[in-house]
Amino acid sequence: MNIAVIGTGYVGLTTALMLCELNHQVVCADTHTAKLKQLKSNRLPLHEPGLKEVLNRHLSRRSLSFTSDTGQAVRESDILFITVGTPSKSDGFTDLNQIKKVAETIGLNQNGYKIVVNKSTAPVGTCQNIHRWILKRQPRYIPVDVVCNPEFLREGSALYDALHPDRIVIGSDNTEAARSVRDLYDSIPCPKMMTGLRTAELIKYSANAFLAMKISFINEIARLCDSHGVDVADVSTGIGLDRRIGSRFLKAGIGWGGSCFPKDLASLGHMFEQAGLSPRILQAVRQVNETQVEYYLRRLEERLGDVRGKTISILGIAFKPDTDDIREAPAIKVIQALHQKGAFLRAYDPVVFRHRNPAGLPVTVCGEMSEAFEDSDCIFLMTEWKNFLHFDWKSHRHRMRTPLIIDGRNVLDQKALIQCGYLYYGMGKAGL
């Protein structure tokens, strides 16, 4: 079977490489020619551990190729994966333009039966629309089936997650088409759930909302921990040992961000509204997250006084470690709020600033982590990059004007830092 993957971002590239690893022949199509140029010459346009070696391997084996001619990729393939972006519009609704354009290109170029597999996260009913959009553009009727195969990978461990998923969900209204997609994943040993199109679409949103709910829940408990002198990490451990609750996604911090949770929860909220329902839990999950930065900045000002004219150094911009993705990163919210309050800002990130200051952030970019300490009044850790944990904090304490550390991810060694003279505050660790 020849496979085309249309959209070569975090999900598309990972999906293509995962399929190559499963011994399929894959062509990736994208409209972003600069990105394709990089990929064709063995260079990754994004930071994602483990992808580069696999990309090199499959390019040299010729099991993988790249093209800007989506029409040709459609004509030469039997199974077409859609992995384009589904960003939020300013009103929170999902922008389906990229998906619609791909569907129309498929319709225009269909030269025989195709199975179209949508992996992009899109509201319930989108796969049926994809089917309609394709048929509308066909010069003459040719059968096509649409399958929903939501993606559950995380950035930072994308390829590992794609090759070792907890489950694979395959939604379709056509059993044969669903079986053909399941066969692609034959060698992945995990439960494969066959379901209807709409069910698969809703599973994806519900999974992301549930994960975000766990984080907002523990972040709300963290605020209570602050008031009662309790360490939220102990509460997480205590509740997480109950297997009905589970320990994962219970790390309190400065809040969840990224390219998906914020937009997917907004989109799910709209689905409720359109159904005439009020998404109460969802609203609370989003509200806790939206107020998290504001809550901890208030606590910071109680410690440091007016931040106007103070120098605050931000460690980490990416929304999580091992990615260069800054979409909806909490660090950006912190930077914007502190900038508005008149603070001088410095920032260091081992990957995000490699080539540029993305989004023109109002910060002085530090080339080395140590530069963040010089005459600084506060270090605010926003991303738990490994090199922050292994840094020689002791030797740099004297360089700070005020040795205050706010650990937005609760990852630093509180005891050791206090011992070498820092004022350390975490999220829900009592004290701030």
- Dist CA 416 CA 430 (whole Å): 16
159 is in an annotated binding site: no
Decide if residue 220 touches ligand UGA (CB under 6 A).
Answer: no
Which helix (H) or strand (E) segment holds residue 393: the answer is helix 393-396
Catalytic residue among 127, 148, 225, 260: 260
- Dist CA 7 CA 157 (whole Å): 19
The CA-atom distances, in angstroms, between 348 and each of 42, 80, 353, 379, 395 are 28, 40, 7, 11, 18
Which among ligand UGA, ligand NAI, none contacts residue 261 (Cβ within 5 to 8 A by kind)?
ligand UGA
Q: Which residues bind ligand NAI (CB under 6 A)?
A: 6-12, 29-32, 35, 70, 83-86, 98, 101-102, 120-121, 151, 153, 155, 259-260
Annotate 15-64 with DSSP letters as a single string: HHHHHHHTT-EEEEE-S-HHHHHHHHTT--SS--TTHHHHHHHHHHHTSE
**How many angstroms separate the most distant Cα atoms in the chain?**
75
| Between 285 and 379, CB nearer to ligand UGA | 285
Strands in 25-29's sheet, in edge-to-edge order, are: 64-67, 25-29, 2-6, 79-82, 114-118, 144-148, 168-172, 192-195
Query: In the complex, what is the shortest distance from the CB of residue 307 to ligand NAI, in angstroms, rounded to a whole number?
Result: 33
92 is in an annotated binding site: no
204 is in an annotated binding site: yes
Which among ligand UGA, ligand NAI, none contacts residue 208 (Cβ within 5 to 8 A by kind)?
ligand UGA
Among 7, 129, 122, 136, smallest CA distance to 73 is for 7
| Between 280 and 356, CB nearer to ligand NAI | 356
Decide if residue 324 touches ligand UGA (CB under 6 A).
Answer: no
Query: In the complex, what is the shortest distance from the CB of residue 288 to ligand NAI, in angstroms, rounded to a whole number?
Result: 22
Q: Which two tokens stand for residue 210?
A: 């549930």
Which among ligand NAI, ligand UGA, none contacts residue 12 (Cβ within 5 to 8 A by kind)?
ligand NAI
40 is in an annotated binding site: no
- Strand 344-348 and strand 311-315: the pairing is parallel
SS3 5: strand
Tokens 């907004």 belong to 266
Decide if residue 153 touches ligand UGA (CB under 6 A).
Answer: yes
Angle at alpha carbon of residue 160, lines to 31 and 315, rounded to 5°: 80
Reply yes or no on whether 28 is catalytic. Answer: no
| Between 286 and 396, CB nearer to ligand NAI | 286
280 is in an annotated binding site: no
- Dist CA 382 CA 410 (whole Å): 10
Query: In the complex, what is the shortest distance from the CB of residue 11 to ligand UGA, in angstroms, rounded to a whole number?
Result: 8
| Between 251 and 346, CB nearer to ligand UGA | 251
| Between 114 and 223, CB nearer to ligand UGA | 223
| Between 31 and 370, CB nearer to ligand NAI | 31
Which helix (H) or strand (E) segment holds residue 79: the answer is strand 79-82
When binding is defined by CB under 6 A, the residue of 58, 119, 320, 327 that contacts ligand UGA is: 320
Binding site for substrate: what residues are annotated?
152-155, 204, 249-253, 257, 320
Binding-site residue set for NAD(+): 30, 35, 86, 121, 155, 263, 327
Catalytic residue IDs: 260
Annotated binding site: 30, 35, 86, 121, 152-155, 204, 249-253, 257, 263, 320, 327
Residue numbers at the binding site for ligand UGA (CB under 6 A): 121, 151-155, 208, 211, 215, 249-251, 253, 256-261, 319-320
